[in-house]
Structure 1
Amino acid sequence: MLEIPLFIPGESYGKVVCERGWKWNRGDVPFHDYDLWYVWRGEGRLVLNGEEHPLSHNQCYLFRPGDRVDAWHNPDLPLVVTYIHFSAKESSVMLAALPSRYDIASPYVFEAYLDRFVQVMTLREHRHKEEACMLLRLLLMGLERESLSSKEASRRRSPHLEAMTRIAATIRENPAQAGSIAELAKQAYLSPRYFSMKFRETMGQTIESYIIEKRIERAELLLNQHGMMVGEVAEALGYQNIYYFSKQFKKVRGYSPSKAGRRGALHAND
């Protein structure tokens, strides 16, 4: 049976700027629970179970029961860290398989979850503990992804990953106004040719096919669920020619947009 681990946040958490004279001396006191520790910025050193590591931005550590830690930082470049103490209700295969140290390749979503966790636990609004448990699980799943195969890890280490995923999200949100490849490339500060190559490497398809796919997905929804006419949908999605839209729709879906509209009507009457 698939394990669904339960992680329980403790009362020790936060995002802090470490004081000028800050240091962490736990080398002789082992951890009794788990601790997720993320470096937003700053410089320092950390010794984990006798092994020394330099500290810098976008690093994340997962400390486990029994771990021993000492750490210092450069007072001129103080560490800014988020820390989350938690426990596991039972021995977790997932936690046992995770490495102790990560360089987060694409920190945008990971950092958003960290900030939301601190906010949820601080405000303590309705069902805050449930949301905090979900956020903690998402954070640990993010670490799990970081430890995948070297090929996938190499892909995630791409300096253009964040820009490509952001642009892909923008296209999904508004495929009618996706813009030209030159305009999209400008958003990523790349040449159109290099942008197209990096988008394909990241998303697994060309930028042209991605835009078409998202337009047709939106078109199908408008036809099936919103009851719009084929001509209205074509115009709404920026097609100058209804026949070109119909041809493209049929090529992607295997049936005409008018048939998509009839399908929606049939389901509405079920």
Structure 2
Amino acid sequence: MKTEREKITGKVAAAALRLAGEPYTLEPGEENCYLLLVYEGSVQLEYGGETMLVNPGSAVLLGPGGGRLLPQGSAAAELVGCHFPLEVLHELRSAAGRDYTRRFASGQRTVLYGPVQWFSRLRTLLEMMRSAGTEQDDPGPLYLLLILHYVEQECIAESSAAARPRNETVEQICAYLSANYQQKFSLTEVAARFYISPYYLSRLFRRVTGQSIVDYINNRRIEAAQKLLENTELSISAVAEQTGFASAAHFRRVFREVMGTGPLQYRKGHKKK
């Protein structure tokens, strides 16, 4: 394993990205593969001659082929991710006996909408990979192997569910909800904004995303709350208010349901120095 790991070391790189106005080019050279998490704002992905809107809470897997990311709306988009040449996946297969190449075939694009805990786990691993990138014994390949393990699990889970069709209206609704999660919403108000009936919206949204509008909004609020808990000293009541929850009690209940722990416990375990 050590010999194989030495071959991979230096070929895996992670970075955080903030897009505000200018597009970002994904280089096609060296058979580059990308794994990107969008955790704030929405981006338009241009890849393989097609475009699609990618909203917060999404993980994007891209095989070699290059492309562009363009921020959507007035708010900046924030991402964290890594890139690596396709040969790294072949080397990981030799080193660890796991084959992930089919997830990154040339010209292949996969977008995953996993649970908040799954997304948070990937974000933590990518941040650790980024922080450790300057270490002499770069552990990037080990982080990548862990990340790909969780990605593979979610790919299997989503493929076993009913196929979810793409829908531009739902993508636009997700972008709107993600940009305005602090506001109070009702199904009727959202439906009226997009000129469809509440009943049709409810069914269509669940069929395309696999979750209700309420769950989608709460997931975006929890993701925003995670950042505040990690990076500020705001009280739980203030975090609840800034992320759109009706009360601190409601925030605590939803946070525990989604993350499996309370906000105070989460802060103790994830506070950034």
TM-score (norm 2): 0.47
Greater gyration radius: 1
